[in-house]
Amino acid sequence: MNDYHRFSIQAVLRYHVWTPGWLLLNVAASRCAGQQVTNENVSSREGGGLVEQTAPDGLTRFHAMNVAEGECEVTYRAEVVRSVSDFADSWEPREASLVELPPAVARYLYPSRYCESDKLVRFAAKEFGALCPGHSRVVAICNWIHEQIDYQPGATNEHSSAADCLVFRAGVCRDFAHLGIAFCRALGIPARYGSSYAHGLPYPDFHAFFEVWLGDRWWYYDATRLAPQAGFILIGTGHDAADNSVATMSQGVQFVSADLRVEKVSPGNLDYTTSPIAFD
């Protein structure tokens, strides 16, 4: 099954600069397979130059800029056409064995800043170790997170990790993704973080989900179930929120506000599914 959806995106980000420094933004829609980006514009109200860079995996684009003392406002606008390739009905992706993993995938087996899979090996084995490997096991992980963890803004902060989320039993989309990733890696399944715009969120914000390597490709999973996955517009992927944060900044640069608008331009409703999807 293939669907096409067209979205219009706008993000306005404001910072206060106490000490001249730099900003590294991660807000541009990915020019990945299945996602066509047009009419794109990134600009700074103060006129500072933005240098675009693409990460080595070709998926994530960054915009780096030097910032002067005072206010700083950056606006991103684009139109994105997404094609969505659903699971074939009759095929269930399996977990790949370690020796057949491409090296660029194998590195997503390791623990990362916010996904301490090294600490969760026993936890994951006890909860999910006996389940049949493959898609259904990852679904069981998503169900577990959805049922056991409260979606609760304010319960965690920017330093919180998967293990913290597990102890507090609460978090936001970023924590849900971290926990899903950590469980998968602890079981030997490559998993990575996805940051995105999302159509249909209860309130306009950046969204986070996670990707799992099954069969021979990455599939989307989202334990929050806050929005239809067909309405995710990928910004980038990485180990976790550490290399996918909306902005990394030098000391003395302070976040002020972000205003997002994600509109569906093409007619029709998004199919609301929490099933994993892949984009090709």
Give residues in contact with a second copy (CB under 8 A). Answer: 21-22, 24, 49, 51, 53-57, 62, 64-66, 97-99, 101-104, 106-107, 109-113, 115-116, 118-123, 125-126, 129, 148, 150, 155, 157-159, 163, 166-170, 188, 238-239, 242-243, 245, 248, 250-251
User: Cβ 50 to a second copy, closest distance in Å?
Assistant: 9
Which residue number, 171 or 228, has a Cβ lying nearer to a second copy? 171
**247: which strand partners?**
25
Judged by phi (left if over 0) then psi (alpha if -120 to 50, else beta), residue 75 lies in beta
Of residues 1 and 104, the one with the C-beta less far from a second copy = 104
Compute the least distance from the CB of residue 92 to a second copy, in Å.
22
Nearer to a second copy, 4 or 110 (CB): 110
Task: State the Cα–Cα distance between residues 172 and 152, nearest whole angstrom.
Answer: 6
**CB-nearer residue toward a second copy: 7 or 15:** 15
Tokens of 179: 């926990």
Alpha helices in the chain (DSSP H): 103-106, 121-128, 135-148, 162-168, 173-186
Looking at beta carbons only, is 115 or 278 nearer to a second copy? 115
- Give the shortest CB-26-to-a second copy separation in angstroms: 10
Distance of closest approach, residue 271 Cβ to a second copy, in angstroms: 32
State the Rg of the chain over Cα: 19
Task: Return the number of the residue (126 or 202) whose C-beta is nearest a second copy.
Answer: 126
CB of 2 to a second copy, least distance (A): 30
Contacts of residue 118, Cβ cutoff 8 Å, sequence gap at least 6: 111, 186
- Least Å distance, CB 227 to a second copy, is 24
C-beta of 88 vs 99, nearer to a second copy = 99
**Phi, psi for residue 181 in degrees, rounded to 5:** -60, -45
Degrees to nearest 5, angle at CA 157 with 177 and 263:
55
Instruction: Indicate the pairing of strand 150-151 with strand 170-171.
Output: parallel
* Strand (E) or helix (H) holding 191: strand 191-198
Whichever of 102 and 153 has its CB closer to a second copy, that residue is: 102
Give the relative orientation of helices 173-186 and 121-128 as an angle to the nearest 10 degrees: 90
- 36 by DSSP, 3-state: which? strand
Q: How far is the CB of 118 from a second copy (least distance, A)?
A: 6
Nearest distance, CB of residue 112 and a second copy, angstroms: 5
Cα separation, 176 vs 161, in Å, equals 10
Six-digit token pair at 111? 């623990």
